[in-house]
Amino acid sequence: MISGTVLSKGRKINKKIYIIGAGLSGLSAAIKLSENNSNCIILEATDHAGGRCRSFNDNLLKTKIDNGNHVILGGNHNTFEYLKRVGTNHNSLTGFSKYNFVDLKTLEFWKLEPKHLYLPFLLFNSQNRIPGSSIDDYFSILKLPFLNLNQTLGTIVNQDSVFSNRFWEPICTAVLNTTPSQASAKLLWQVLKETLIRGKDSSKLYVINDGLTDTFIQPAINYLFRKGIKIAYGSRLTKISFSGDKARTLHLRDRNILLNPDDKIILTLPPIEISRLLPNNAVPEKTNPIVNIHFKLQTDNPLPHKNIFLGITNGVSQWVFYKNEVLSVTVSDAINLVDQDPEIIARRTWEELLPLLNYPNSKLPKFRVIKERNATIAQTPAQENKRPDCLTVWKNIFLAGDWTNTGLPSTIEGAIKSGITAANMLQKRESKN
């Protein structure tokens, strides 16, 4: 048995904070706590930090790829503050004021310029609207704030309309990883009002140039190391023992940690792990998958007009990114795709994209298919109502994670916000004692 008491510079410290999980939630919690020189240690089950937000060297493609494709919006203030604090290079991101799309059925191109949503009178000019849409379609956005927590986006969306196909479907699926017919309208509104509705700066879309690890994870690890906070890899939490209204012992795979009375825990694990570790703690149980397909090319950027990202409608593919000779395809809410053979997935997406590409060879290139079966919770009204708050019935346990009750979707912004919230609540509780 290992006691939570540690020695630091010759003095005894009886108060320690254990952060379980080195994903973005755990890292952001540790960064926030480091402001007050809190005595933290991060316990990570795997041999790497970042969770789903990481990069790795792929032996098949002979290059570094991201586990999945992520973008940031200008209104993601917690994310930009995180990047600023850990010292991420400004050149790690490239921003765009327009979202470019193509319809695979008609090969028609168009762009979404959020400034038109911010200044609605511009929409009276048809050239400012999505092709095939009417001004009435845009006013459906104004209904979102007035829907209740139990209503889906399908309540206000005509899913057979061109506007639904070219606006609601790609935006909702990308943000919530849930189809509009099932997605929480209220949750989508939380995103739109902080980004697209606020105009050009808040809706600006940023793609990541240097990879997820180099942008989000390694700078955070370096920052925490300078603050004296380290990550203990290979430290899988298997059980928590309780005494009264507090956790008493952390049971790891290879050791136990006996907690001191003032020790605290921030759990940043997936909901299925929380339901196993914390008895009678209700959590969302339904998840949706995301599939990413990475193709290693032998030429320069083959996307039209040298776009480095492109939205897709009427195809299996939904978003396409180009970086360092790798063409990456993202399919969210991939329930109908995730169980298929990787080669079938790769061939299907490659063949549907070929008419768009300036690529001399139609042969299927080397590929890597990454399936995240439980990528996010299903962000439906029913699951949204099950997202727990940071505080738990145990006085020394706090929850964080993009699936907790952040008021935001399960995104990078939501993950970072959850870590900050947990750190703030922990410090607030300590100040009362």
Percent of the chain's residues with pLDDT above 90:
79
Within 10 angstroms of residue 47's Cβ, the number of other Cβ atoms is: 7
From the number of C-beta atoms within 10 Å of its C-beta (0-12, 13-18, 19+), residue 66 rates as buried
Tell me if 5 sits within 8 A of 12, measured CB to CB.
yes
Give the residue carrying structure tokens 């209904």.
143
Pick the closest to residue 292 from 213, 164, 177 (CA basis).
Answer: 177
- What is the phi/psi pair of residue 398, to 5°? -125, 150
Helix (H) or strand (E) holding 172: helix 169-176
**For the segment 265-294, what is each residue's pLDDT rounded down to a tens digit?**
999 999 999 999 998 888 999 999 999 999
For residues 133 and 112, give the distance between their C-alpha atoms in angstroms, rounded to a whole number: 12
- Is beta strand 264-267 parallel, antiparallel or unpaired with respect to 6-8? unpaired
Tell me if 135 sits within 8 A of 191, measured CB to CB.
no
Report, in this order, helix, strand and coil percent for the chain, each rounded to 5. 35, 25, 40
Q: From the centroid of its chain, how far is CA 175?
A: 9
**Mean pLDDT of the region 5-25:** 71
The pLDDT score that the predictor gives to residue 122 is 65
Within 10 angstroms of residue 340's Cβ, the number of other Cβ atoms is: 15
The pLDDT score that the predictor gives to residue 281 is 84
Handedness of CA 208, 168, 375, 352 (dihedral sign): negative
**Mean pLDDT of the region 229-235:** 97
CATH class held by domain 2-52+213-285+382-432:
alpha beta
- Options 3.20.20.70, 3.90.320.10, 3.40.50.620, 3.90.660.10; CATH for 56-95+206-211+286-377 is 3.90.660.10
**Mean pLDDT of the region 39-56:** 96
Q: Do domains 2-52+213-285+382-432 and 56-95+206-211+286-377 have the same CATH topology?
A: no
The pLDDT score that the predictor gives to residue 433 is 67
pTM of the prediction?
A: 0.93
Q: Between the CA of residue 52 and those of 67, 152, 243, 250, what are the distances in Å?
A: 6, 27, 33, 24
**For the segment 127-170, what is each residue's pLDDT rounded down to a tens digit?**
778 899 888 888 888 888 888 889 999 988 888 899 999 999 99
Structure tokens at 401: 């994670």
**What residue spans define the domains of the chain?**
2-52+213-285+382-432, 56-95+206-211+286-377, 116-199
For residues 359 and 379, give the distance between their C-alpha atoms in angstroms, rounded to a whole number: 37
The pLDDT score that the predictor gives to residue 332 is 97
